[in-house]
Amino acid sequence: MRNYLFKIKYDGFAFHGWQIQPNGVTVQQCVTDAVRRIFSTDACVHGCSRTDAGVHANEFCFNCKLETEMPCEKMVYALNAVLPETIAVTDCSPVSDGFHARFDCKGKEYVYIINNSKVRDPFLINRAYHYKYKLDEDFLNGQAKAFIGTHDFAAFCAAGSCVKDTVRTVYDFTVRREGERVIFTVSGDGFLYNMVRIAVGTLLDISRGKLEAGSVPQIIESRERSRAGVTVPACGLYLNKVFYGENNDDKH
């Protein structure tokens, strides 16, 4: 029995998030079913995070323990042969027996994509947030820097979250433009429920003058969700990278 770390990517529009739930198709359920078909076992599939319904992943990691002689490269092809087309395994590697995709994660990077045009792009529906108001990416990039550092981000956590520790460290937060797409990229040691979507919504509200420029530090200090901006739709959010330690491919 060996422990394996798998990397996948998926289009989240088709799923009710990662975690298995009674009603709705989830990524974890599809992966678990694929593992059962290929390896004839009900292995526990441990994900690195809990993405919400409609959220995508350019890189998502899970681990599971398997009794197999199949090389990692063949595992990738075998699983892809039975997974839905909206999920793809991109890598597989053996890890230590005690490794856990969630608890050994050192950090993550998220990307939020806005289609910043007056007319919607049909090819970006459910894959980016259509926002028709003109955005100044350089201005937003400057405003985003206020999130960097270790702070209590209670003001950027969705109401109803049961998490007790709301302190997180943001490593970097940038905003750039690629044609009509404005891309928000944020990395940190962890994120609260809807934290990235609320942070982006806050920057958009600052852009439109609904919140004052330079107000992010005061919003953070307030710890009040009502002081921050709107929660932008899930369709523009992508888990982009997952960071582990020295013994794994990725680290911060």
Query: Do 197 and 237 meet the contact criterion of CB atoms below 8 Å apart?
Result: yes
In whole angstroms, give the CA distance from residue 203 to residue 212.
10
Q: Which of 11, 33, 42, 52 is catalytic?
A: 52
* 69, burial (CB in 10 Å: exposed 0-12, middle 13-18, buried 19+): exposed
Residue 205, C-beta contacts closer than 8 angstroms, at least 6 positions apart? 211, 229, 230
In whole angstroms, give the CA distance from residue 221 to residue 28.
36
In whole angstroms, give the CA distance from residue 124 to residue 132.
14
Rounded to the nearest 10 degrees, what angle do helices 27-39 and 72-82 cross at? 120
Active-site residue, 52 included: yes
Strands (E), 146-236: 149-152, 167-178, 181-188
Tell how strand 149-152 and strand 129-130 pair up: unpaired
Q: Which of 216, 121, 218, 212 is nearest to 170 (CA)?
A: 216
Residues noted as catalytic: 52
